[in-house]
């Protein structure tokens, strides 16, 4: 019945005998359907010009902003044996509360009086060092006395030398007088001999002059001998001065050597005393380290060691504690292609696990159950998952984040970008273009429809 043949057969068919022809002939076009189509077309066209907020979707987890607010392990500073637990899992503790008590596990520390004995050894070393201080002071005083004695003896020798010089001067005058007397005596003897030869003087007078001459010679020799003796005495005093100085230098060197030895041994004792003091401090700190306390206020999340009597090593994790108060943050990971579009302070809409939400991707302000945030920091290094990490903190002007969200729970974020029209967003996605790059501080400028990348 397509009427494609030149010869029509419609005139031979009785349409009244068929129900299908009756139904088709009685059917009329629906105006309501046409109105609905026209209304939908108008709504679609108007919808194309509605505003649309470009965004970047990202998944992440709830974390903390400060490193010290993260869950942390409580570690043992030294090895030991667990003696008593003071907490159970889930307990809330404050700073300084006792977590567990340990006992000694090394043989060299089993002596209960080890600390007292070490202190006693240290005091003995200090007393020995003080004795050497006294010895050094005594030797110094002895050295000062030796200096005084040396000065006194040198002064005595100097006085003797001055006396000899005076005697030498006096004897030299006596020698001159004796020499003059001897010369006069010899002249008188010669004259007496001449007078005796002429018979003027007697032999007795000649013998008298000869005797006087002998006495003059003897006196001259006596004075000369005394002068020689004094010169020898002066030379002996000079030698005695040198011997005295040499002897003094030897004694002084010996005392100074003893002082140096005393000081050296005193320093050795002080060094040993300092080592013992360091050992005492270590023992005191070791005794304190057996009591493990909470470094922060929080909740004991998990106990990592078992019951009483178990041995643990140094730096082993004993328990995990979660701070009771912390500043929440969300770690989001975005693709490298979206990194140029993200800046510090950019707005983010967040949805947390456990909180129902109705999210309109292009109209974030009309979404229900989401929370506001802003980008706090952007990592410069890519993460192991091939994406860049963002830290998002709570926006003060928005409603606060729920108090019941826990660290590690999931979160999904919408990083809000430029406001465009719906038709432009459809055109961008169909062509595979990235969202527009823009500066939030310069949002009043005209936005280009073609994405523009800033070239540095």
307 or 448, which is more confident: 307
pLDDT digits (tens, 9 = 90+) for 103-162: 887 877 777 888 888 888 888 888 888 888 888 888 888 888 888 888 888 888 888 888
**56: pLDDT strictly greater than 80:** no
Query: Please, what is the angle between helix 422-431 and helix 31-48, to 10°?
Result: 80
**407: pLDDT strictly greater than 70:** yes
**450: pLDDT strictly greater than 60:** no
Q: Which of 110, 80, 107 is nearest to 309 (CA)?
A: 80
Share of the chain above pLDDT 70, in %: 83
Return the minimum-mean-pLDDT range out of 3-12, 327-336, 399-408.
3-12
Stated pTM of the model? 0.52
pLDDT at 436: 61
User: Two tokens at 198?
Assistant: 């002429």
User: Two tokens at 10?
Assistant: 């419609």
User: Two tokens at 420?
Assistant: 């465009």
Residue linked to tokens 């030149």: 6
What average pLDDT does the segment 436-449 reach? 46
**Dihedral (Cα; 72, 77, 81, 86), 10-degree rounding:** -50
Does an H or E element contain 205, and which?
A: helix 203-289
Cα 316 to chain centroid, rounded = 24
Query: CA 320, CA 89: separation in Å to the nearest integer?
Result: 9
pLDDT at 24: 60
**267: pLDDT strictly greater than 80:** yes
Q: What structural domains and CATH numbers belong to the chain?
A: 51-69+326-442 (2.40.30.170), 72-102+290-323 (2.40.50.100), 114-286 (1.10.287.950)
pLDDT interval class at 9 (50, 70, 90):
low
User: Two tokens at 444?
Assistant: 């009043």
pLDDT digits (tens, 9 = 90+) for 325-342: 778 889 999 888 777 777
Q: What are phi and psi for residue 393, nearest 5 degrees?
A: -115, 170
Query: CA 437, CA 340: separation in Å to the nearest integer?
Result: 8
Query: CA 342, CA 391: separation in Å to the nearest integer?
Result: 12
**442: pLDDT strictly greater than 50:** no
Does an H or E element contain 99, and which?
A: strand 98-103
């Amino acid at each position: 019945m397509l009427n494609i043949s030149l010869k029509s057969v419609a005139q031979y068919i009785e349409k009244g005998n068929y129900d299908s022809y009756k139904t088709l002939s009685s059917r009329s076009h629906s105006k309501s359907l046409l109105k609905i189509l026209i209304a939908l077309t108008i709504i679609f066209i108007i919808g194309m010009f509605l505003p649309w907020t470009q965004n970047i979707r990202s998944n992440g987890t709830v974390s903390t902003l400060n490193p010290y607010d993260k869950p942390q392990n409580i570690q043992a500073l030294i090895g030991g044996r667990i003696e008593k637990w003071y907490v159970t899992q889930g307990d809330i503790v404050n700073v300084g509360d006792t977590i567990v008590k340990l006992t000694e596990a090394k043989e060299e520390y089993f002596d209960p009086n080890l600390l007292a004995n070490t202190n006693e050894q240290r005091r003995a070393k200090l007393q020995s060092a003080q004795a050497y201080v006294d010895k050094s002071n005594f030797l110094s005083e002895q050295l000062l006395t030796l200096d005084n004695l040396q000065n006194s003896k040198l002064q005595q020798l100097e006085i003797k030398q001055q006396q000899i010089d005076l005697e030498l001067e006096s004897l030299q005058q006596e020698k001159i007088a004796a020499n003059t007397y001897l010369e006069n005596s010899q002249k008188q003897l010669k004259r007496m001999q001449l007078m005796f030869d002429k018979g003027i003087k007697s032999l007795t007078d000649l013998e008298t002059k000869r005797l006087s001459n002998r006495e003059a010679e003897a006196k001259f020799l006596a004075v000369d001998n005394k002068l020689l003796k004094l010169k020898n005495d002066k030379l002996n005093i000079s030698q005695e001065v040198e011997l005295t100085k040499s002897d003094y230098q030897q004694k002084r060197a010996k005392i100074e050597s003893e002082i140096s030895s005393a000081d050296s041994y005193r320093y050795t004792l002080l060094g040993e005393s300092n080592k013992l003091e360091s050992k005492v401090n270590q023992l005191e700190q070791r005794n304190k380290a057996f009591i493990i306390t909470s470094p922060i206020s929080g909740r004991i999340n998990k106990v990592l060691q078992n019951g009483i009597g178990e041995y643990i090593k140094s730096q082993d994790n004993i328990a995990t504690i979660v701070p009771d108060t912390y500043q929440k943050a969300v770690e989001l990971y975005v693709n490298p292609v979206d990194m140029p579009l993200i800046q510090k302070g950019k707005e983010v809409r967040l949805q947390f696990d456990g909180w129902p939400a109705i999210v309109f991707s292009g109209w974030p302000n009309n979404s229900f159950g989401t929370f506001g945030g802003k980008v706090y920091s952007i990592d410069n290094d890519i993460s192991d998952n091939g994406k860049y990490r963002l830290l998002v903190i709570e926006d003060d002007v928005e409603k606060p984040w729920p108090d019941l969200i826990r660290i590690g729970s999931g979160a999904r974020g919408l990083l809000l970008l430029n406001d465009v029209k719906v038709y432009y967003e459809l055109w961008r996605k169909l062509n595979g273009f990235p969202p527009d790059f823009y500066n939030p501080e310069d949002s009043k400028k005209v936005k280009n429809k073609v994405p523009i990348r800033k070239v540095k």
